[in-house]
Structures are given as C-alpha cells and as structure tokens.
Amino acid sequence: MIDTPPSARKIPAVPADPAEHAVRFAHTWADRLEHHDEGRMHALDIPEHQIGASDLEHGVPWRVFFPHERTRGGNVPGGRITVDSGVLNPELNAEKYGPQYASLWKKARLRDRIDSIIVHEYEEAKGVSHEEAVARAGHRVARLSPGAGDPPCYVRGSDRSRSGLSRSSRRWYAAHVSR
C-alpha cells in the first residue's frame, strides 16, 4: 500500500452504522444499482414515463437510483418512481415494524427488496395510502408472475414454490402486510 491504511488512520473499513454503510456502498456502486433498478422497473412493467426522476440538487438531470437518500424509495410528482440506499440497509424501520419484519427484510435478497419497493411505490404513486399500497402490491405482481395474489417480491430460484416465489419472500410479505 502506498499510503497509510485506513486501520492505521482509525477509519473503519466498514462503518458500524448500517445506514452509513448502506450510503457508502450506494455511492460506490451507484452506476450498477442505477442500471439494475431501471432494468427491474422495465421487468415489472412500470410505464416508461414513471421510471426515475431528476435530481437537480445533486446536478443529475435524471436517475432511478438515489444513493444519498435513505428511505428505500419514493415517488415524486407525476408518479415517477425511485429507489435509494435505504433498500441496502438491513435494519431500516426495524423498530417501526418489529423483529419479525426486520429479520425477514435482513434475509431477503436484494432483488426481492428492490422489486417490493418498486411495486409498492408504483401503487402509492396512484394516490392510495401506504396500507392500501401494501395490499395492492401483491395483486400488481400477481398479474406479472404466475402465482395470483402472491407478494410483490418474487424470485426464480432453487427454493421457489409452484408460484415462482421463494419461501422467504412469502414470509417477508406476510409479515409486512400483517402490520
């Protein structure tokens, strides 16, 4: 190493705070997360005019992934949908939703987290309440995936059920909806 290593400068390589770690990771990999999230929005049939938003505060004319925000995602006027670094934080809203939800969110694959946020924000952009968006999200994905009425976070993996959803995704959604 050419310079003093971070450990010698008393700078932790990985921050102890999960939110700070999520933001650092998001900034490092923003280009890849941008590409992935836009692709997921297309795969979930989000209308083109609702994908991404401008970020004039940071000098970016258009983006889908906002690495500096920490809420998981959002929708802005015009129903434009974004995802942010909060989707990377395994402990976000753990106190609000309880330990069962926190455990399922922490274990969920990143793709499942991102899909669930995109579909949820899409439903909220239609003007419904948070609770109604959670309920409707399952119906939205049901039209896109084989299992009618299944949760908005689905995977195509080795442990998938006949509906194409992993057990952990179904548990995560059940915990989220029950709140």
Structure confidence by residue, pLDDT tens digits, 23-36 = 999 999 999 999 99
Positive or negative, the Cα torsion across 57, 124, 110, 179? Answer: positive
Distance, in Å, from the CA atom of 111 to the CA atom of 40, rounded to the nearest integer, reads 8
Report the predicted TM-score, pTM, of the whole model to 2 decimal places: 0.72
Q: What percent of the chain has pLDDT over 70?
A: 73
Q: Name the least confident of 42-46, 112-116, 155-159, 174-178.
A: 155-159
Average pLDDT over residues 110-135: 88
Count CB atoms within 10 A of the CB of residue 17.
13
Is 18 buried (19+), middle (13-18) or exposed (0-12) by CB count in 10 A?
middle
Average pLDDT over residues 142-149: 40
Cα angle vertex 99, ends 94, 101, to 5°?
Answer: 75
Count CB atoms within 10 A of the CB of residue 135.
13
Average pLDDT over residues 58-72: 94
Domain extents in the chain: 18-177
